[in-house]
């Protein structure tokens, strides 16, 4: 009799497991069907978006080519030509800015033209140079070549 109870318990347990398995299988099929419907919806949405993208690309191309026409390549009058936009700075020579400030640079030895050197060079060329005093004695003294 004890053997029968064990067999019956095993049989009952097996039946419970099979019932649970059938429920899981049914839930799995329902989930699979719902997933398939969602996939179909998403595929339709992707197709709609692809068509929209194609339409927008065509519109972009049309607008790009519309701007290509002016009085040089169509029958449009010159007054309809678009004004050219301003050139970017240094577009004409593509020079890059160095980032340094303008003027004398730190560490560079400056040179000044001395009055005596200028007079000496002028005398070598046969030009007589006269120095004229300019200004008021109460102000800083200036002299220039005449």
The pTM of the whole model exceeds 0.75: no
Q: Average pLDDT of 72-96?
A: 72
Same domain, 7 and 67: yes
The more confidently predicted of residues 118 and 15 is 15
Domain count, the chain: 2
Q: Which residues of 14-32 are buried (b: 16+ CB within 10 A; e: fewer)?
A: eeeeeeeeeeeeeeeeeee
The gap between the terminal CA atoms of the chain, to the nearest Å, is 142
Q: Average pLDDT of 64-79?
A: 77
Q: Which DSSP symbol is given to 82? A: P
pLDDT digits (tens, 9 = 90+) for 124-145: 888 776 666 666 667 665 566 6
Helix (H, G, I), strand (E, B) or coil at 134: strand
Confidence at 64, pLDDT banded by 50, 70, 90:
confident
97 within a domain of the structure (yes/no): no
99 within a domain of the structure (yes/no): no
Q: Average pLDDT of 76-95?
A: 70
21 within a domain of the structure (yes/no): yes
Same domain, 13 and 71: yes
Q: Which two tokens stand for residue 116?
A: 């005596």
Q: Average pLDDT of 78-94?
A: 69
What is the maximum alpha-carbon separation in the chain?
147
Residue range of the domain that includes 124: 113-146
Closest CA to 141 of 112, 115, 109: 115
């Amino acid at each position: 009799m004890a053997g029968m109870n064990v067999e019956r318990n095993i049989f009952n347990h097996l039946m419970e497991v099979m019932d649970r398995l059938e429920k899981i299988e049914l839930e799995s099929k329902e989930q699979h069907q719902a997933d398939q419907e969602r996939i179909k919806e998403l595929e339709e949405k992707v197709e709609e978006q692809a068509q929209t993208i194609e339409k927008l690309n065509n519109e972009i191309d049309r607008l790009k080519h519309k701007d290509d026409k002016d009085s040089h390549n169509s029958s449009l009058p010159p007054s309809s030509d678009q004004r050219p936009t301003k050139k970017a700075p240094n577009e004409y020579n593509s020079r890059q800015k160095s980032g340094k400030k303008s003027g004398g640079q730190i560490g560079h030895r400056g040179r000044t033209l001395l009055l005596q050197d200028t007079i000496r060079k002028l005398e070598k060329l046969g030009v007589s140079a006269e120095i004229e005093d300019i200004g008021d004695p109460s102000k800083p003294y200036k002299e220039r070549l005449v």
